[in-house]
Amino acid sequence: MKRITVTEMEPIKPVKTGEVITIQRAGEILILDFWKNRSLIGRYCMDQNGNYKTYITNIEKKSEQPKWCKIKLSVMISGESPYWMSLYSALDKVVVSSKDAQLAKEFLGGIKTGYRKYEKLRDIDDIESNYNQEKRIQYETSRLLRLNQFMDALPAIPDDFDSWIFETAGAGAEYMFFDKQAEDWICTACSSRSADSGIKIRHNDVVTCPACGKTVQAKKRVRSVNKETHCLLIQNIDTEKSVNRHFDIDLEWSGTGKRITKSESERMVLYRQHPRGKTRELFYNQYDRRSSRALFDRNNPANRRTFPVYLYPGGIEEGLRGTEFQRWGRLLKQMSETSEKVHYAKLMTMREPWVERTVEYLYKGHFRKLLEDTLENMYWWGGYVGPLNLRGDTIEEVFKIHDRQIINRIRDCDGGENTIAWMQWCGLTGKKLKQATLEWLVKEKIKRSDIQFILDRMMPEQVMNYVIRQQGSSYKNEKTHAVISQWEDYLDMASQQMKDTSDEMVYRPRELKRRHDEMVEEIRKKEMAEAMKKDKKRRAEAEKRMREKFPGAEEILKEIRIKYEYQNEEYIMIVPKRLGEIIEDGNALHHCAGATDRYFDRILSRETYICFLRRRNEPKMPYYTIEFEPSGTIRQHRGYLDEEPEIERIRPFLKEWQAEVKKRLSSKDKDLARISAVKRKENIEDLKKKNNIRVLNALLEDFMESAI
């Protein structure tokens, strides 16, 4: 569209006042001048292809100049977004002469783009929409063509890739399958058949193939053996870029031979030099039904994730040379040759220099399990949650252990982060751990924090013996973590009841389950009695004790009130002013909020907060207790007796509240939210380990995430 043709043509001034459109034609361009009280607002132009532009002349700020922009006619007339104002309603208020309308009708009739069903100027709405749609289709087609050409330029997969992944991921495993019809055996190593010798071979027996002499595993009950795994291939493309290719692999051994199925999940293109300064681009595999081919694009609708993978040993240093990951080339080459699975994708997202040093220490020191745990606890924003000091300059500083014999002990047993944590405890306390006790702690995945409540009175070996004894009597078939959790709850309740928890008869009862149940009943009766008395004096004394036990918690509640309180016409979200209110709310609704110290500990550490959901017309009547993270993510919502009355009715309000909270969050709140999310995941994993299905299912049902 020739803009100069439009600007050189004088607008036709209207005779009438109000909102008026005057129309004229400049060659292949239709010009619609929009006036308000004889003041020119803008000039809308459209050519014979349906392409349109608007020249805004009425500028509110004196410092601005008239400008061309891509807005619809309805927007120019109404000043509203096209989603709120249609051209049909906008033209109802505008005056157009019959002569101008006829001129527009003749011009619009010659445009091929658009389906016209109205008279006068209303066809423009369809023409605009269809023109924009055609341009979007053209752009997307061109973009996908360029993307496919870019992806097709990748080198071919190496010829030995399939045999390498079978040897590496399959660990050289071979099988011999029994053919019931032919009554003979088929070896996957040599593909030969061997007659049944009459010697009884059971399913999974390890035997020798009579034909090739290789050691194989007999499979008599299944027709195939499958193994899923993942691998990474680093390849050089050209002088400007290389690529990391992640594959999902399915290996199959059967009577017909060995078969591998490869599905490329994602590609990370690494740039040596890019005109816009990019260092890498990530593309995810999205199956394109129209072309029945893999389509790689930047979107990730399948929510693909990376995993620990095997790394193909060829082309690593060449592929990383000149990229931001060049420093990893030599180390990754060495790691790939040991045929171990490592989370390379996560490792390469860490840009801090101390990460490379720590990984090299752990790999070359043969701390395989520890390397796996460390990478699992690294996060893309540079955070690390674990027992190591990743910024240490020596292995002693990294481990925070200065006794080389202890470090060698960790390596000899291939200990992970839990082993490190217990060895650090030994160094801090000067106490020793027998190997049998350490193995039990690691096997049962018991962290220091799990039994910290009793370590001031009992040694880990004593804890082990006590828990095993309880599992043999009143806690038969219970997981270790379940017994420890009951023990901690019992001592927490005993402390609340002012029992002498330093007395061995109290902290180590002979029958833990019976004493736990008795303590629960004792507390229940006491609470009922106190509720019946409604003694304000005692309530004030209890609140005073709570303030002394959790100093600063009420100040935190006061600080967050303006951020998290909210109401609409039906419901109101209230942040409690006193810690005692949380207990009162829990007692009134008969659920666990406020019954244990963990909720107040979380408030004090800003991991989660508590608020009350009430009906707006009954703001003092308990209805729901809500536990939520700093981001607004809801962990629990509990009504009377842990039931959830009208939950589907209140969920829209909770989402509305989350949307409002999101607007109020500060950068500090977002940092706290990330930490809280990590702790939530750890809590869920802990519940899974303890096999606490009831609590886990309840938490998952209540969970309502709020994105930040």
The predicted structure's pLDDT at residue 533: 55
Highest mean pLDDT among 348-362, 501-515, 591-605: 501-515
Ordered by start, the domain boundaries in the chain are: 3-135, 161-311, 351-432, 460-532, 540-702
Q: What are the backbone dihedrals phi and psi of residue 16, each rounded to the nearest 5 degrees, phi first?
A: -85, 160
For 435-447, how does the pLDDT look when each residue is reduced to its tens digit (9 = 90+)? 999 999 999 999 9
Decide if 370 contacts 358 (C-beta within 8 A): no
Decide if 194 contacts 210 (C-beta within 8 A): yes
Decide if 124 contacts 89 (C-beta within 8 A): no
Distance CA(109)–CA(114), nearest Å, equals 10
Helices 512-533 & 480-496, crossing angle to 10 degrees? 40
Highest mean pLDDT among 196-200, 337-341, 594-598: 337-341
Give the pair of three-digit tokens for residue 133: 């749609």
Pairing of β 29-36 and β 224-236 = unpaired
In this prediction, residues 36-50 reach a mean pLDDT of 91
Distance CA(390)–CA(397), nearest Å, equals 8
List % helix, strand, coil for the chain (3-state, nearest 5). 45, 20, 35
The predicted structure's pLDDT at residue 529: 47
The predicted structure's pLDDT at residue 654: 94
Query: Minimal CA–CA distance to 207: which of 194, 222, 217?
Result: 217
* pLDDT higher than 70, residue 689: yes
What strands, in cross-sheet order, belong to the sheet with 293-297?
Answer: 293-297, 280-288, 257-271, 241-254, 224-236, 310-311
pLDDT band at 63 (very low <50, low <70, confident <90, very high): low
Residue with the larger pLDDT of the pair 353 and 146: 146
In the chain, the amino acid numbered 525 is K
* pLDDT higher than 90, residue 608: yes
Pairing of β 566-567 and β 310-311 = unpaired
In this prediction, residues 495-505 reach a mean pLDDT of 90
Between the alpha carbon of residue 271 and those of residues 384, 423, 441, 582, the distances in Å are 28, 43, 46, 55
Q: What is the largest CA-CA distance in the chain?
A: 111
Q: What are the backbone dihedrals phi and psi of residue 232, each rounded to the nearest 5 degrees, phi first?
A: -125, 135
Q: What is the DSSP letter of 550?
A: S
**CB neighbours of 182 closer than 8 A, spacing ≥ 6?**
193
Burial of 12 (0-12, 13-18, 19+ CB in 10 A): middle
Report the run of H or E that residue 11 belongs to, with start and end.
Answer: none
On average, the pLDDT of the chain sits at: 87
The predicted structure's pLDDT at residue 532: 42
CA angle at residue 612 from 608 to 613, to 5 degrees?
120
**CB neighbours of 116 closer than 8 A, spacing ≥ 6?**
108, 109, 123, 126, 127
* pLDDT higher than 90, residue 376: no
